[in-house]
A and B are shown apart, each in its own frame.
Chain A
């Protein structure tokens, strides 16, 4: 049929950019997956919608800039940023979220919204409105098929995957993983078994915050770092978490890659600012037809 012939021609002429965009989509998807995993972890285990997650991402990037500036090592920046923001996350959870346990979930939404406001404005005040630059640790490109592709982007995808994999292993094995899973299933009995549930919550929030920070540092070299960078990403992360099924780790990862790929392809034909509409459309379709999540088996 003629239509197929047309499509095939179009694909053939755009072959290069399609390959590039596929890889780009996967790379972006992995970063998004890292952010979304933290978000879905916090929601799945603590039933907290963390509106400040994007700001933790942003904070991580800034801490990375600062550490890189005085140490010169990107890897140190990555590790320190993750640890520092994890601690900040723990402190935030203890001071503002613990008092709200047991109250209407509306309160945690408002509290985390307040935190995001404070963190954003703090960053603006401390670092100013001019975007900062974070240099990538490895430059240079390799040959992907017959095209040149930056090494660093590949590295991001691999590292994100490694971190998520590490999280999965941590949850599956080890005492703390058992504590977290037991608390998620039955908070009351977990307490009766001597598991210090308030600290499990703090730990989970800290892990989520650390993961967001790591994404900030990893993704930093690709974008400008400024106080508002969290907003767009937290939005995408929320979309992905809803599409993947809230609390579903595997689902949010699959959804991250799925949505990012679609957006990358869309960016071939429309401007990047408009390509974001793709994620909105996916969300709307998910809400209409499979509200519990696209990658979740339909509940009976």
Chain B
């Protein structure tokens, strides 16, 4: 099938990015785009460079070649904290919440920003706690004492506090029980409804196909295939080609 149309003015565009870790050439010219409010999936086997792509967008790793463009502006080479403030949030693969900070303090790392009134902060918190009642209960507890699933919720919640235009989600359902997996699915849906774009890296194919509008397939550091999610079935040979063992 032919490649699906990509948004005319994408929110995020990754253009021919090459990234190295020391001497290892991880990304060999990655190209992808995410439109405003779009949920885009990034699938592929372990080690193909999916996480590295997210880290490159976030500015945590510098590409040796290529550009990352956000809202028409080149953001390649900018420090990560500036990129976060521009509206890109990151939820890493191992959650990495601040274990010694309380839940509330974790949220505040995203909430305490310039230009946000106290009223707005309270609004955001109230909305958040409505979605995550478990976090509300544990708000004074240290992050390290939460269960795996709760930490994942906290990691996503913390990113949401930045009121980002796009969230980079790296394998949010990894290691979670089915009940939590469907909760993640719901959150992605809620974020999509609120107009937040998501770049979703996942191993869970059904969830990705359900939640995304488009999906990219990566192999050996490059994007090899691009499809409209609704046109793909779970047992499609393409899936098998890029994800099968």
Chain A interface (Cβ within 8 Å of chain B)? Answer: 175, 178-179, 181-182, 185-186, 188-198
Contacts and interface: CB of A to CB of B under 8 A. Distances in A.
Contacts, number: 61
B51 to A, nearest CB: 13
Given A182-B101, A185-B99, A189-B96, A194 B110 contact: yes
A196 B83 CA distance: 11
B84 A193 contact: yes
Given A188-B60, A192-B90, A178 B113 contact: no
A190 B109 contact: yes
A175 B112 contact: yes
B109 A191 contact: no
B81 A195 contact: yes
Interface residues of B, number: 23
A185 B143 CA distance: 12
A196 B105 CA distance: 17
A175 B92 CA distance: 23
B106 to A, nearest CB: 8
A194 B60 contact: no
Interface of B: 58, 60, 79-81, 84-85, 89-90, 92, 96, 98-101, 105, 108-110, 112-113, 158, 162
Contacts of A186: 96, 98
Contact of A181 (B79, B89, B100, B113): B100
Given A181-B100, A185-B100, A194 B92 contact: no
A185 to B, nearest CB: 5
Nearest to B60: A188
Contacts of A185: 98-101
20 contacts: A178-B109, A178-B112, A181-B100, A181-B101, A182-B98, A182-B105, A185-B98, A185-B100, A185-B101, A186-B98, A188-B96, A189-B92, A191-B60, A191-B79, A192-B84, A193-B81, A193-B109, A195-B109, A196-B81, A197-B81
Nearest to A176: B112
Contact of A175 (B58, B100, B108): B108
Contacts of B58: 192
Contact of A178 (B90, B92, B108): B108
Contacts of B110: 193-194
A196 B98 CA distance: 16
A191 B99 contact: no
Given A190-B109, A194-B162, A178 B101 contact: yes
Contact of B105 (A178, A191, A192): A178
The residue among A179, A186, A190, A193 with the most chain B CB atoms within 10 A of its own CB is A193
Contact of B109 (A182, A188, A196, A198): A182
Contacts of A175: 108, 112
Nearest to B158: A193
A191 B81 CA distance: 5
A191 B162 CA distance: 12
B168 to A, nearest CB: 9
B128 to A, nearest CB: 15
A192 B99 contact: no
A194 B85 contact: yes
A192 B101 contact: no
B162 A181 contact: no
A250 B59 CA distance: 36
Given A175-B112, A178-B112, A179-B109, A192 B100 contact: no
Nearest to A197: B81
Given A185-B100, A192-B58, A194-B81, 15 more contacts: A178-B112, A181-B98, A181-B105, A182-B98, A185-B98, A186-B96, A186-B98, A188-B60, A190-B81, A191-B84, A192-B60, A192-B90, A193-B162, A194-B109, A198-B79
B56 to A, nearest CB: 13
A129 B152 CA distance: 61
Contacts of A190: 81, 109
B108 to A, nearest CB: 6
Closest 5 A/B residue pairs (Cβ): A194-B84, A191-B80, A175-B112, A193-B109, A192-B90
A191 B55 CA distance: 12
Contacts of B90: 192
Nearest to B168: A192
